[in-house]
A and B are shown apart, each in its own frame.
Chain A
Amino acid sequence: MRFRAFLAKFLKYGTLLTSSGFIFTVSLQIYARFFLNDVPPWTEEASRILFIYAIAFASGLAYKGNYFVFLEVFYSGLSPYTKKIIDLMTHLLSFILFGICTLYSLQMVEMGLSEYSPSLQVIMAIPFLSMLILCASICYYSFLAFLKKVKFWKS
């Protein structure tokens, strides 16, 4: 329970911080293009990394809050039994898919240790870490959602 609360907070503040950072760097870039003599070359890369992180942090939360696209047109026309199967399979398949992605993103992070970004000169393992955050958080929340559905359909 404590871990769940910590993770939700971590993702929430992560999303807020990276989104604010993204807005700041893009604004700085636009301002510099029009009003300053020098455009800091790092802004383009920083904005890209911050955007990716904002998505990575927010995806798990979106899954938790059920904010993803939901095709009700087809779903509502199905029988209760098919609905039950789809409900369970959706979360189970998401869990399996993102579980596999989590394992592969670990490999990517390891590969990123020997690569540097062109202008910020940070090791690429840092941007690649966003994939791990995205996959692991969706994997965790899809598992919880699966358990919740099992409980619901049993009752």
Chain B
Amino acid sequence: MWCRTKQLLLASLLLLSLLACTSKTANKPEYLFKASMLVKENHTWYKAFMYFGELLEKRSGGRMKLEVYPSEQLAKELEAVRLIRAGVIDMTISAGSLTNFAEILTFSDMPFLLRDTIAMHKLINSAIGKQIEREMIQKIGLRPLGYFQRGERHLTSNRPIKHPDDLNELIIRVPNAPSYVVAWKALGAKPTPMAFSEVFSSLQQGTIEAQENPFAMIKNAGFSEVQKYLNLTGHLITWGYPLVGEKQFQSLPQDLKTIFLESAKDMQAFEHQLFLQNESKVQEQLKQAGMIFVEVDKTAFMENGEKAVYESLSPPMQKIYKSIKKITQ
């Protein structure tokens, strides 16, 4: 009996080793890129990267290939950045989290900095925008391939908030970033840094009374079940950079580098179209889910919030802040 089991075990092991040896060496591309994504498969970023992969393969005649892993299968946002720097994976999307590596990136995730998306485009295409990109390459070793607009962040609550005076110590969950805490505190709220995964249950239990996120995130997390009002504060306009490791990019021959950058431009345009379609769709879905959209006094929010954010910055960043305000006016 034992002998038979041994034989069976041995046979299974052999079969497994054989299966492990089979690989598609004939179809193996010259350059294989692996991208880690925070978002799910139905998100516009994932679709854009899939489109980018198709373009790369087609235009390079199969010499380049892109594998996209959604839903943090490979790593979380910051871990993905570290893995790219270590040469384990090649691409991801990030922006605000990169402040940990280069302080100037703080402007890509700063509340009450930009009034609208026109100001955002002005900033990205300005000399400061180019400085941000340079620092990403030099200090972090990541090359931005364009930018993906993210939805504006809005405040959700169970009572309407039209003016900062309405906040009156409202307990708001904020991400673990000092600028958020400072800004909401200055407006009269009680900001509470908390991990995103805890937000839904904390809203249910009353640990927090409000939270702020873009439309798509509010819908995906199901906050409409525990929050009644969606106050259109638009206090944060932000974007994400599709990134490739600089070492990985430099390892490409010149002709492939050109294809890579051109395909990235097309990807950005493709994603922007998807983003615009998605934003209007999500707003409708939130209204249907019972959320009441509240128009707010944006100027009052901006005036109170921006001063506090400015004071929280280091002197060199305060100088850049002033330049950004001039550019985006």
Q: Which residues of A are at the interface with B, using a C-beta cutoff of 8 A?
A: 33-34, 37-39, 41, 43-45, 107-108, 111, 114-119, 124
Q: Evaluate contact between A115 and B176: CB separation under 8 angstroms.
A: no
Q: Evaluate contact between A37 and B193: CB separation under 8 angstroms.
A: no
B311 to chain A, nearest CB (A): 16
Task: Flag whether B281 is at the interface (Cβ < 8 A).
Answer: no
| Residue of A with least CB distance to B97 | A118
With a cutoff of 8 Å between Cβ atoms, the chain B residues found around residue A41 in the complex are 176, 178, 181, 193
With a cutoff of 8 Å between Cβ atoms, the chain A residues found around residue B323 in the complex are none
Cβ contact of A115, chosen from B100, B185, B193, B207, cutoff 8 A:
B100
Per-residue CB contact flags for chain B residues 89-124 toward chain A (1 = under 8 Å, else 0) read: 000000001011100000000000000000000000
Cβ contact of A39, chosen from B86, B100, B192, cutoff 8 A:
B192
Cβ contact of B193, chosen from A39, A107, A108, A114, cutoff 8 A:
A39
List CB contacts (< 8 Å) of B167-218 with chain A.
169, 171, 176-178, 181, 185, 190-195, 207
Q: Evaluate contact between B192 and A33: CB separation under 8 angstroms.
A: yes
| Residue of B with least CB distance to A36 | B190
Cβ contact of B185, chosen from A34, A38, A43, cutoff 8 A:
A38
Q: Evaluate contact between B177 and A119: CB separation under 8 angstroms.
A: yes
With a cutoff of 8 Å between Cβ atoms, the chain B residues found around residue A34 in the complex are 207
Cβ contact of B177, chosen from A38, A43, A118, A124, cutoff 8 A:
A118
Given contacts A37-B169, A119-B193, 4 further A-B contacts (CB under 8 A): A37-B190, A107-B86, A111-B82, A114-B139
Q: Report how far A111 CA is from B86 CA in the complex, Å.
A: 8
Task: Flag whether B228 is at the interface (Cβ < 8 A).
Answer: no
Q: Report how far A39 CA is from B100 CA in the complex, Å.
A: 22
Q: Which residues of B are at the interface with A, using a C-beta cutoff of 8 A?
A: 82, 85-86, 97, 99-101, 139, 169, 171, 176-178, 181, 185, 190-195, 207
Q: Report how far A116 CA is from B86 CA in the complex, Å.
A: 17
With a cutoff of 8 Å between Cβ atoms, the chain A residues found around residue B195 in the complex are 44
| Residue of A with least CB distance to B194 | A44
22 pairs, A vs B, C-beta closer than 8 Å: A33-B171, A33-B192, A33-B207, A37-B190, A39-B190, A39-B191, A39-B192, A39-B193, A41-B178, A41-B181, A44-B176, A44-B195, A111-B82, A111-B85, A111-B86, A114-B101, A115-B82, A117-B100, A118-B97, A118-B177, A119-B176, A119-B193
Take A41-B178, A111-B86 as given contacts and tell me if A118 and B99 are in contact as well, using a CB distance cutoff of 8 Å. yes
Q: Report how far A38 CA is from B85 CA in the complex, Å.
A: 37
Q: Evaluate contact between B193 and A44: CB separation under 8 angstroms.
A: yes
| Residue of B with least CB distance to A116 | B100
Q: Report how far A34 CA is from B207 CA in the complex, Å.
A: 7
Q: Report how far A33 CA is from B177 CA in the complex, Å.
A: 17
With a cutoff of 8 Å between Cβ atoms, the chain B residues found around residue A107 in the complex are 86
| Residue of A with least CB distance to B99 | A118
With a cutoff of 8 Å between Cβ atoms, the chain A residues found around residue B207 in the complex are 33-34
